[in-house]
Amino acid sequence: MANQLRPALTIFAALTLICGVAYPLAVTGIGSAVFPAQAGGSLVAVNGQPAGSLLIGQAFTSPQYFWGRPSATAPMPNNAAGSGGANQGPSNPALLDAVKSRIGALQAADPSNSAAIPIDLVTASASGLDPEISVAAARYQAGRVAAARKLSHEQLLALIERHTQPQWLGFFGEARVNVLALNLALDQASPHRQQ
Protein backbone atom coordinates (compact mmCIF):
# COMPACT_ATOMS: atom_id res chain seq x y z
CA MET A 1 0.00 0.00 0.00
CA ALA A 2 2.80 2.44 0.92
CA ASN A 3 4.44 1.72 -2.44
CA GLN A 4 1.31 3.02 -4.23
CA LEU A 5 0.51 5.91 -1.88
CA ARG A 6 3.83 7.75 -2.20
CA PRO A 7 3.79 8.01 -6.05
CA ALA A 8 0.09 8.97 -6.01
CA LEU A 9 0.73 11.80 -3.51
CA THR A 10 3.79 12.94 -5.48
CA ILE A 11 1.80 13.09 -8.73
CA PHE A 12 -1.08 14.84 -6.93
CA ALA A 13 1.29 17.49 -5.49
CA ALA A 14 3.06 17.98 -8.84
CA LEU A 15 -0.21 18.37 -10.76
CA THR A 16 -1.55 20.76 -8.10
CA LEU A 17 1.53 22.96 -8.48
CA ILE A 18 1.47 22.83 -12.28
CA CYS A 19 -2.30 23.20 -12.84
CA GLY A 20 -3.22 25.19 -9.76
CA VAL A 21 -0.28 27.57 -9.45
CA ALA A 22 2.14 27.67 -12.39
CA TYR A 23 -0.41 27.59 -15.23
CA PRO A 24 -2.77 30.26 -13.80
CA LEU A 25 0.19 32.54 -13.02
CA ALA A 26 1.59 32.10 -16.53
CA VAL A 27 -1.77 32.75 -18.23
CA THR A 28 -2.45 35.79 -16.03
CA GLY A 29 1.04 37.17 -16.67
CA ILE A 30 0.83 36.69 -20.44
CA GLY A 31 -2.70 38.08 -20.56
CA SER A 32 -1.70 41.15 -18.53
CA ALA A 33 1.32 41.78 -20.75
CA VAL A 34 -0.38 41.23 -24.12
CA PHE A 35 -3.93 42.44 -23.35
CA PRO A 36 -3.67 44.71 -20.29
CA ALA A 37 -7.06 46.44 -20.66
CA GLN A 38 -8.97 43.20 -21.21
CA ALA A 39 -7.10 41.39 -18.40
CA GLY A 40 -8.04 44.26 -16.10
CA GLY A 41 -11.75 43.86 -16.87
CA SER A 42 -11.99 46.46 -19.67
CA LEU A 43 -12.59 49.16 -17.06
CA VAL A 44 -13.21 52.72 -18.21
CA ALA A 45 -12.08 55.61 -16.02
CA VAL A 46 -13.49 59.12 -15.99
CA ASN A 47 -11.45 61.74 -14.12
CA GLY A 48 -9.34 58.94 -12.64
CA GLN A 49 -12.36 57.11 -11.20
CA PRO A 50 -13.77 53.85 -12.62
CA ALA A 51 -17.00 54.54 -14.52
CA GLY A 52 -17.75 50.92 -15.43
CA SER A 53 -16.66 48.05 -17.61
CA LEU A 54 -17.17 47.79 -21.35
CA LEU A 55 -18.02 44.12 -20.76
CA ILE A 56 -20.92 44.52 -18.30
CA GLY A 57 -24.12 46.47 -18.88
CA GLN A 58 -24.94 49.53 -16.81
CA ALA A 59 -28.34 50.57 -15.45
CA PHE A 60 -28.85 53.98 -17.11
CA THR A 61 -32.34 55.33 -16.37
CA SER A 62 -32.12 59.08 -16.99
CA PRO A 63 -33.77 60.31 -20.21
CA GLN A 64 -30.48 62.10 -20.97
CA TYR A 65 -28.72 58.78 -21.54
CA PHE A 66 -29.11 55.84 -23.88
CA TRP A 67 -30.59 52.89 -22.01
CA GLY A 68 -29.11 49.44 -22.26
CA ARG A 69 -30.74 46.09 -22.52
CA PRO A 70 -32.88 45.08 -19.52
CA SER A 71 -31.13 42.88 -17.00
CA ALA A 72 -32.58 39.74 -15.47
CA THR A 73 -29.95 39.44 -12.73
CA ALA A 74 -30.92 39.49 -9.08
CA PRO A 75 -31.03 41.09 -6.59
CA MET A 76 -30.03 44.17 -8.63
CA PRO A 77 -29.70 44.89 -12.37
CA ASN A 78 -26.41 44.06 -14.11
CA ASN A 79 -25.14 42.12 -11.11
CA ALA A 80 -22.16 40.14 -12.42
CA ALA A 81 -22.34 37.80 -9.41
CA GLY A 82 -25.89 36.84 -10.40
CA SER A 83 -25.35 36.41 -14.13
CA GLY A 84 -28.09 34.45 -15.83
CA GLY A 85 -31.33 34.86 -17.67
CA ALA A 86 -34.82 34.61 -16.27
CA ASN A 87 -35.45 31.35 -18.20
CA GLN A 88 -39.00 32.43 -18.96
CA GLY A 89 -40.55 31.13 -22.15
CA PRO A 90 -42.43 33.35 -24.62
CA SER A 91 -45.81 32.26 -23.27
CA ASN A 92 -44.90 32.89 -19.63
CA PRO A 93 -47.24 35.54 -18.18
CA ALA A 94 -44.43 37.03 -16.06
CA LEU A 95 -42.31 37.62 -19.18
CA LEU A 96 -45.27 39.12 -21.03
CA ASP A 97 -45.96 41.45 -18.08
CA ALA A 98 -42.28 42.49 -17.91
CA VAL A 99 -42.19 43.22 -21.65
CA LYS A 100 -45.43 45.24 -21.44
CA SER A 101 -44.01 47.21 -18.51
CA ARG A 102 -40.79 47.96 -20.43
CA ILE A 103 -42.76 49.03 -23.50
CA GLY A 104 -44.82 51.33 -21.29
CA ALA A 105 -41.67 52.87 -19.76
CA LEU A 106 -40.16 53.51 -23.21
CA GLN A 107 -43.37 55.08 -24.48
CA ALA A 108 -43.73 57.22 -21.35
CA ALA A 109 -40.14 58.45 -21.69
CA ASP A 110 -40.69 59.44 -25.35
CA PRO A 111 -44.42 59.72 -26.11
CA SER A 112 -43.88 61.29 -29.54
CA ASN A 113 -41.85 58.30 -30.79
CA SER A 114 -44.11 56.10 -32.89
CA ALA A 115 -41.36 53.86 -34.30
CA ALA A 116 -41.37 50.13 -33.63
CA ILE A 117 -39.53 49.31 -30.41
CA PRO A 118 -36.51 47.05 -31.02
CA ILE A 119 -36.78 43.74 -29.21
CA ASP A 120 -33.50 44.17 -27.35
CA LEU A 121 -34.91 47.15 -25.44
CA VAL A 122 -37.67 45.03 -23.88
CA THR A 123 -36.06 41.59 -23.42
CA ALA A 124 -33.06 40.60 -21.32
CA SER A 125 -30.10 38.70 -22.72
CA ALA A 126 -29.17 35.20 -21.61
CA SER A 127 -26.50 36.51 -19.24
CA GLY A 128 -28.47 39.53 -18.05
CA LEU A 129 -25.28 41.58 -18.41
CA ASP A 130 -25.27 42.55 -22.09
CA PRO A 131 -23.31 45.83 -22.47
CA GLU A 132 -24.42 46.40 -26.06
CA ILE A 133 -27.61 47.19 -27.91
CA SER A 134 -28.47 46.98 -31.57
CA VAL A 135 -28.00 50.00 -33.81
CA ALA A 136 -31.79 50.11 -34.19
CA ALA A 137 -32.19 50.30 -30.39
CA ALA A 138 -29.74 53.20 -30.19
CA ARG A 139 -31.45 55.02 -33.06
CA TYR A 140 -34.86 54.46 -31.45
CA GLN A 141 -33.67 56.37 -28.36
CA ALA A 142 -31.91 59.20 -30.24
CA GLY A 143 -34.96 61.51 -30.22
CA ARG A 144 -35.46 61.26 -26.46
CA VAL A 145 -31.78 61.84 -25.69
CA ALA A 146 -31.53 64.70 -28.21
CA ALA A 147 -34.51 66.47 -26.62
CA ALA A 148 -33.17 65.96 -23.08
CA ARG A 149 -29.69 67.21 -24.03
CA LYS A 150 -30.97 69.94 -26.37
CA LEU A 151 -28.95 68.50 -29.26
CA SER A 152 -30.06 67.91 -32.81
CA HIS A 153 -31.30 64.48 -33.82
CA GLU A 154 -28.60 64.45 -36.54
CA GLN A 155 -25.85 65.01 -33.93
CA LEU A 156 -27.07 61.98 -32.00
CA LEU A 157 -27.28 59.80 -35.11
CA ALA A 158 -23.72 60.80 -36.03
CA LEU A 159 -22.54 59.91 -32.50
CA ILE A 160 -24.25 56.52 -32.77
CA GLU A 161 -22.61 55.94 -36.14
CA ARG A 162 -19.15 56.72 -34.70
CA HIS A 163 -19.68 54.22 -31.89
CA THR A 164 -21.18 51.42 -33.98
CA GLN A 165 -19.07 48.28 -33.91
CA PRO A 166 -19.39 46.31 -37.17
CA GLN A 167 -19.99 42.60 -37.49
CA TRP A 168 -16.99 40.59 -36.38
CA LEU A 169 -14.87 39.69 -39.44
CA GLY A 170 -17.58 41.28 -41.57
CA PHE A 171 -20.17 38.52 -41.19
CA PHE A 172 -20.37 37.16 -37.61
CA GLY A 173 -23.12 38.61 -35.42
CA GLU A 174 -24.74 41.99 -35.87
CA ALA A 175 -23.54 45.56 -35.78
CA ARG A 176 -23.88 46.85 -32.22
CA VAL A 177 -23.31 49.82 -29.94
CA ASN A 178 -21.67 49.68 -26.50
CA VAL A 179 -24.00 51.70 -24.26
CA LEU A 180 -21.35 52.79 -21.74
CA ALA A 181 -18.96 53.99 -24.45
CA LEU A 182 -21.79 55.83 -26.22
CA ASN A 183 -22.98 57.54 -23.02
CA LEU A 184 -19.44 58.58 -22.05
CA ALA A 185 -18.97 60.08 -25.52
CA LEU A 186 -22.33 61.80 -25.09
CA ASP A 187 -21.15 63.37 -21.83
CA GLN A 188 -18.04 64.66 -23.59
CA ALA A 189 -20.09 66.11 -26.43
CA SER A 190 -22.78 67.59 -24.18
CA PRO A 191 -22.22 67.62 -20.41
CA HIS A 192 -25.00 66.06 -18.36
CA ARG A 193 -27.53 68.57 -17.09
CA GLN A 194 -29.14 67.87 -13.75
CA GLN A 195 -32.95 67.96 -13.81
Predicted confidence band of residue 192 (pLDDT cuts 50, 70, 90): low
For the cut 50, the answer to whether the pLDDT of residue 195 exceeds it is no
Strands (E), 42-195: 43-46, 49-53, 132-134, 164-165, 176-178
For the cut 90, the answer to whether the pLDDT of residue 188 exceeds it is no
Q: Write down the mean pLDDT value for the chain.
A: 87
Instruction: Return the closest-CA partner of residue 122 out of 86, 82, 164.
Output: 86
User: What are the start-end ranges of the H helices in 18-149?
Assistant: 23-34, 36-39, 93-109, 135-149
Q: How far apart are CA 136 and CA 157, in angstroms?
A: 11
User: What percentage of the chain exceeds 90 in pLDDT?
Assistant: 48
Q: Against a cut of 0.95, is the pTM above it?
A: no
For the cut 80, the answer to whether the pLDDT of residue 82 exceeds it is no
pLDDT of residue 87: 74
- Segment 26-54, tens digit of pLDDT: 999 998 899 888 787 788 888 888 888 88
Alpha-carbon dihedral sign for residues 65, 69, 72, 74: negative
Task: Respond yes or no on whether the N-terminal peptide bond of residue 75 is cis (omega within 30° of 0).
Answer: yes
Task: List 52's β-bridge partners, or say none.
Answer: 44
- Segment 125-178, tens digit of pLDDT: 878 788 999 999 999 999 999 999 998 999 999 999 999 998 888 788 899 999
For the cut 60, the answer to whether the pLDDT of residue 86 exceeds it is yes
